[in-house]
Amino acid sequence: MRLINKKLKWHDRVILGALPFIALVMTYATASYLRRIDNPADKLLPSLEAIGNAFWRMAFVPSPRTGDYLLWSDTLDSLWRLGTGMTISTLLALLFGIAIGFIPHIRSTLAPFIASISLIPPITILPILFIIFGLGEMSKVMLIVAGTAPIMIRSVTQAVLDIPREIIIKAETLGASVWQMITRIVIPTTLPQLITALRLGLVPAWIFLISAEAIASTSGLGYRIFLVRRYLAMDVILPYVLWITLLAFIIDRLLLYISKRIFRWHHLSGESL
């Protein structure tokens, strides 16, 4: 049998999937051990135990300064910003994506504009965002929107353009109005693509969230990481990074699950990662 046709048993898949993670942890543990022979208080690669302790301290011991459980209050604040930003981006993507994809006049007006806008790295116009939206929560949410909405609009537009022309013609033959076609054909067929766009948009969204919190903030996951970076507290940074990765992974899987449950027809053929 050829290599590519081999079907792996589920436990083999789990073991193979776990391998790189185990290798990473082992590499880390050894490197950390070697560095700590030179300097037992090494801050760059603290021991796994120190990382565990730091995680415990951030999650379950109230901060002496504020009395908050830092990990949870940071997580809550960050997720609020991320959630608000992505909700706005999703709504914008749906609205503009359909309008641009379906109505020729709007497409001619906005498509080149959105395509250009989506290429501007939002970080570079940060001072302008500050002046318009202030330094508070609003500017952080807007940075996420600015970073994700244009590309999400473009992928929804593409999804609308990909609707087979025959279906539209069929609907027109049956006397459907533009509005009817939008509500009965365009929206239902593009919704799964919207979820895909959302999942892809979450990648830059996290980056912009963390950068926004690094710039001016009093709480949040990114704030904490950039604050403790000032004294190289990798024992706090590493568990925060793992935590962010885990959160991002869970949100991504959740969206995939929702998509598979609601739009079963969209997932009929092919595997999805």
The single residue among 54, 94, 185, 244 that binds another protein, judged by CB under 8 A, is 54
Does 45 participate in binding another protein (rule CB under 8 A)? yes
Footprint on residues 98-157 left by another protein (CB under 8 A): 126-127, 130-131, 134-136
Decide whether 114 or 225 has the Cβ nearer to another protein.
Answer: 225
- As a whole number of angstroms, the distance between CA 16 and CA 135 comes to 46
**Amino acid (1-letter code) at residue 261:** R
String marking each residue 4-43 x if it binds another protein according to CB under 8 A: --x----------------x---x--xx--xx--xxxxxx
Q: Between residue 61 and residue 100, which ones bind another protein under the rule CB under 8 A?
A: 64-65
Phi/psi of residue 74, each to 5°? Answer: -60, -45
Strands (E) located in 142-214: none
> What is the C-alpha to C-alpha distance for residues 255 and 253, in angstroms, rounded to an integer?
5
Q: Which is nearer to another protein, 142 or 197 (CB)?
A: 142
Distance between CA atoms of residues 238 and 56, nearest Å: 13
* Dist CA 143 CA 135 (whole Å): 11
- Smallest distance, another protein to C-beta of residue 221, A: 13
Least CB distance to another protein at residue 137 (A): 11
Helix (H) or strand (E) holding 243: helix 234-262
CA 121 to chain centre: 17
**Interaction site with another protein (CB under 8 A):** 3, 6, 23, 27, 30-31, 34-35, 38-45, 53-54, 57, 64-65, 126-127, 130-131, 134-136, 214-218, 223, 226-227, 229-232, 235
